[in-house]
Chains A and B, each alone.
Chain A
Amino acid sequence: MNSPFSPQPADHVPAELIVDFDFFDMPADVTDPVQIWHGLVRNGTPPIFYTPRNGGHWVFLRYADIVEAYRNHEIFSTRKAQIPPLEPYPVLQPNGVDPPEHDVFRKLLAPMFTPLAVRRMTEGLQVRAEGLISAFASKGRCDFVTDYAAKFPTATFLELFGLPEERLPEFLRISDTFFRATDPDVRAANIQEIYAILEELFRDRNPGSDIASTIVQARDAQGNQHKWEDIINCGFLLFVAGLDTVTNTMTYVWRYLATSPDARRKFRERLDDPSAFMIALEELMRINAVSNIYRRVTHDCTFKGVEFRRNDRVVLPNTVANRDAGVFNDPQTIDLERKVNNHVTFGMGPHRCIGSHLAKREVMISLQEWLKQIPDFEIDRDEAPSVFGGPVMGFESLALLW
């Protein structure tokens, strides 16, 4: 494979910065995927290092460097940043383009995801959460991933896009392949499949108030519909950004709460105080950052004394930034009263997750409804879950009992 975005050979990387590290690979003894990242920090790995795996890429391990990479789109671009590199690959809108081009679709989407817009969705989210939970609450057990965490955000997505809920299994499968597959043929076929769905979704659309209709009906500065390719690529972004991330964040949160009666009690005590509930939830967002974010270097340059070449790929592991001892007091401890909590779970800078308010509200409402129906629960230790790495980390299953 060779394209204008293919990385160059890594002969610019000094030997002392090379570490053999595969973030898709989970060794058999790993029970929590974030461990492989924190293991790097514990072992004294250089804070900016290069691994030849997955096409070769850099990894940043310091909060300050990760934040700087998020903010400096002139060096660290989101465009064609896939790892392993893959072509053809769509330029996602707006995440795959940098400012100022980025502003067009960002501004188009922004009103649909403001805190105000998301608050208006509250009742619908509550009804969905309550319905899903009451379907298994009396059984005394569930697989949290299958029965809840995968269904809830996907069903929310389908509703936002004006699609029927019957398509849930199809969307779950496609999203899973998108984040987990490393085989180039499987990945190419997956992208084709997503494209076919989006084409069908946006074409001949009966105008409604859903997100897809809003994107189709939007007009550019000249009063024309946006380019069809950009419309599809905006749908692509929303598809890949809002499903798996929320599923795995929820799974992490519930996995922790299942082992901490004290934390469950604190959240139950805050059921009538959404503001206090959200502050505590913010700490669970910090400690359970599931995304490892990609950037592509735009030109040969030196950053923090390290030489980079155009098209070098960079991974920004949010979980590492969020537990940087230079930024957070007692960073490995979950402190639901933490006062200052500038975590990077939703990124920073111009590409900050536009759906963060929806994501947080999905988790908040799910937890509120859950604690009302299932105040206490634990992990079924007889079923060992399998874990996965990659750009979104998580668990294939989480068996809960109550």
Chain B
Amino acid sequence: MRVVANLTVCQGHARCEDLCPEVFSTDAVEGKVVINQPEFPPELEEKVRLAVRNCPEGALRIAKGAAA
């Protein structure tokens, strides 16, 4: 599974980084989400899902399968 971000919608709340810093960080210029490992390991799934549900703007989504 992998997680994807919509950077137009992201407003830099950085809640994802607080909840799962292994997968999410924020850039140094705009403070928007940076996904460190889009294809995250299964042991992080719960944390990633929590981060997705806690995005106030709904900018994150979990997609099935590997990136095309």
Which residue numbers of A lie inside 8 Å of B, CB to CB?
A: 107, 110-111, 113-117, 275, 278-279, 282, 339-344, 346, 348-350, 352, 356-357
- Check if A279 sits within 8 Å of B19, measured CB to CB: yes
Interface of B is mostly: loop
Chain A residue numbers with a CB within 8 Å of B25 are 115
Given contacts A340-B54, A344-B56, is CB(A107)–CB(B30) below 8 Å? yes
Given contacts A278-B18, A340-B53, A344-B56, is CB(A114)–CB(B13) below 8 Å? no
How far apart are the CA atoms of A107 and B11 in the complex, in Å?
A: 12
Query: Does B66 have its Cβ within 8 Å of any Cβ on chain A?
Result: no
- Check if A115 sits within 8 Å of B30, measured CB to CB: no
Pick the contact of A111: B11, B15, B29 (CB < 8 A).
B29
- Check if A339 sits within 8 Å of B11, measured CB to CB: no
A109 to chain B, nearest CB (A): 10
- Check if B30 sits within 8 Å of A342, measured CB to CB: no
B1-43 vs A, CB cutoff 8 Å, 1 = contact: the mask equals 0000000000111110111010001111111000000000000
Pick the contact of B31: A110, A279, A344, A348 (CB < 8 A).
A110
Query: Does B63 have its Cβ within 8 Å of any Cβ on chain A?
Result: no
Query: Does B44 have its Cβ within 8 Å of any Cβ on chain A?
Result: no
Which residue numbers of B lie inside 8 Å of A, CB to CB?
A: 11-15, 17-19, 21, 25-31, 50, 53-57
Pick the contact of B29: A110, A275, A348, A352 (CB < 8 A).
A110
B28 to chain A, nearest CB (A): 5
Chain A residue numbers with a CB within 8 Å of B21 are 275
B53 to chain A, nearest CB (A): 5
- Check if B31 sits within 8 Å of A352, measured CB to CB: no
How far apart are the CA atoms of A346 and B13 in the complex, in Å?
A: 9
Chain B residue numbers with a CB within 8 Å of A342 are 54-56
How far apart are the CA atoms of A341 and B14 in the complex, in Å?
A: 13
How far apart are the CA atoms of A356 and B15 in the complex, in Å?
A: 11
Can you identify 16 A-B contacts, CB atoms within 8 angstroms?
A110-B12, A110-B30, A111-B28, A111-B30, A111-B31, A114-B31, A115-B26, A115-B31, A116-B28, A275-B18, A275-B21, A279-B18, A339-B50, A349-B11, A349-B57, A352-B13
Pick the contact of A357: B11, B14, B30, B55 (CB < 8 A).
B14
Given contacts A110-B29, A348-B57, is CB(A356)–CB(B19) below 8 Å? no
Interface of A is mostly: helix
| B26 (CB) vs chain A CBs: closest residue | A115
Across the A-B interface, the 4 shortest Cβ-Cβ residue pairs: A114-B31, A352-B11, A342-B56, A115-B14
How far apart are the CA atoms of A117 and B28 in the complex, in Å?
A: 7
Given contacts A275-B18, A278-B18, A279-B18, is CB(A114)–CB(B12) below 8 Å? yes
- Check if A341 sits within 8 Å of B28, measured CB to CB: no
Given contacts A107-B29, A115-B17, A279-B18, 12 further A-B contacts (CB under 8 A): A107-B30, A110-B30, A115-B26, A116-B31, A117-B28, A275-B18, A279-B19, A282-B15, A339-B50, A340-B53, A352-B11, A352-B12
- Check if A356 sits within 8 Å of B13, measured CB to CB: yes
Pick the contact of B54: A110, A113, A341, A352 (CB < 8 A).
A341
How far apart are the CA atoms of A306 and B19 in the complex, in Å?
A: 39
How far apart are the CA atoms of A340 and B53 in the complex, in Å?
A: 6
- Check if B50 sits within 8 Å of A348, measured CB to CB: no
Chain A residue numbers with a CB within 8 Å of B27 are 114
Chain A residue numbers with a CB within 8 Å of B28 are 111, 114, 116-117
B7 to chain A, nearest CB (A): 13
How far apart are the CA atoms of A346 and B18 in the complex, in Å?
A: 16
| B11 (CB) vs chain A CBs: closest residue | A352
Chain B residue numbers with a CB within 8 Å of A115 are 14, 17, 25-26, 31
How far apart are the CA atoms of A349 and B15 in the complex, in Å?
A: 14
Chain B residue numbers with a CB within 8 Å of A350 are 11
How far apart are the CA atoms of A282 and B15 in the complex, in Å?
A: 9
How far apart are the CA atoms of A348 and B56 in the complex, in Å?
A: 7
B33 to chain A, nearest CB (A): 11
Residue among A282, A341, A342 with the most chain B CB within 10 A?
Answer: A342
How far apart are the CA atoms of A357 and B19 in the complex, in Å?
A: 14
Given contacts A350-B11, A357-B14, is CB(A114)–CB(B54) below 8 Å? no
How far apart are the CA atoms of A117 and B21 in the complex, in Å?
A: 16
How far apart are the CA atoms of A357 and B54 in the complex, in Å?
A: 16
Chain B residue numbers with a CB within 8 Å of A357 are 14, 31
How far apart are the CA atoms of A348 and B27 in the complex, in Å?
A: 19
